[in-house]
Amino acid sequence: MSSDQLVIEADGGSRGNPGPSGSGAVVIDGETGKVITEISTYGGVATNNVAEYRAVIAGLNEAFRHNPNAQVTVRMDSKLVVEQMSGNWKIKHPDMQVLGIEVQKLVAGKNVTWVWIPREQNSRADALANEAMDNEVDVIRHLSNDEVPSSKSIEFNPMNPSSIRAPGDVTEPLTTVVLVRHGRTALTEAHKISGGTGDDPNLSKLGHEDAAAVAKLIAGFGTESAFGHLPKPTAVIASPMQRTRETAAHIASALGVSVETEELLREISFGDWDGHTNEEVAKLWPEVFSTWRGSWTESPPNGESLEVFDARIREARSLILEKYRGQTVVVVAHVMPIRGFITLTMDGGPAGYWRPQVAPCSLSVIRHWGEDFAELVTANFTAHL
């Protein structure tokens, strides 16, 4: 059973300040004193204080994964972090401001107490931070016999890229982008083309059911569901089209946030082909249709080429990563924008725009560390539908 009282011991260090850094956190059953989880994460080049904040974030994520309603005591030998998180000291450094905001969002509505302890009482977390700096790898050890970790979290790094082959100098904070395609519309169900400049249909009855299902899944982030190991989203942004805004409204309601819209996320324009089936387009525009398939520069009549669209999606991604830096954000969009995000993540080239399947109200998750590095967690997840 999950304990109602948890203790986190957290510490971070940097050899050079800034220099190679490591973060360590221990989650302890506050009633029995038994260690539940040990977390050791390598942070690349960073300062001591940044590493300490990362340790706190890793510990809180694990504690609330174990029990979202637990009373948590965070124990640290960093007077700075304890006083800043207690609201007694201001956070002045920009990097720590971002991390401080992330911590505050994690503890919002929770019962969390911050306690300073002497360094000698924080030896377990200190040892884990040094383990990360020595080995330059990330380790999560679940030690409780009461809980067997799922395969999705055993090799999952909550703060840094999960693969040891990833670049070791990631310095930007983690931004998690949850991509959701809109639910079904009448045009979707009729297999008709629905682009960004043609008809703007509402969700159908089945589309609203799709949206409710994905909203329930996303509401379980950080606590339960297939994505309980990922932080709960703090923002929802959508394409301005009716079908995406209606889907986003379901998700925002489940999360208790509002919906923002972004014009750059609008679906690619199919121009004169909107409202037709693929078969009709092939008959009415045979030569253009044949040339357009697989082309980077060809566009439908009065529509958008992949070359032009790709530039728009790159701009959209940059805007989102800057505006929601260090957060988890849900992006409700269309097939082509989602394929664009995945293609940029995988460095896939033009073919990335037609190879991934993106079903209505499917979910894809990409973790970003600025624009320098990205990690695909999942694509076209549909088990909730």
Whether 280 is catalytic is no
Whether 368 is catalytic is no
Which contacts qualify for 78-81: CB closer than 8 Å, 24 or more apart? Answer: 78/11, 78/12, 78/49, 78/52, 78/116, 79/116, 80/49, 80/52, 81/49, 81/52, 81/53, 81/56
* Secondary structure class of 359 (helix, strand, coil): coil
Catalytic, out of 267, 304, 368, 384:
267
Catalytic, out of 182, 334, 368, 384:
182
Q: Return the ∠ at Cα 373 (arms to 327 and 324), rounded to 5°.
A: 20
CA atoms of 62 and 228, how far apart (whole Å): 10
Specify burial of residue 378 (Cβ count, 10 A radius: 0-12, 13-18, 19+): middle
CA atoms of 245 and 214, how far apart (whole Å): 14
CA atoms of 43 and 178, how far apart (whole Å): 23
Maximum Cα–Cα distance across the chain: 78
Do the beta carbons of residue 157 and residue 171 sit within 8 Å? no
CA atoms of 250 and 176, how far apart (whole Å): 20
CA atoms of 44 and 16, how far apart (whole Å): 12
Do the beta carbons of residue 359 and residue 184 sit within 8 Å? no
Specify burial of residue 142 (Cβ count, 10 A radius: 0-12, 13-18, 19+): buried
Please list the active-site residues.
Answer: 182, 267
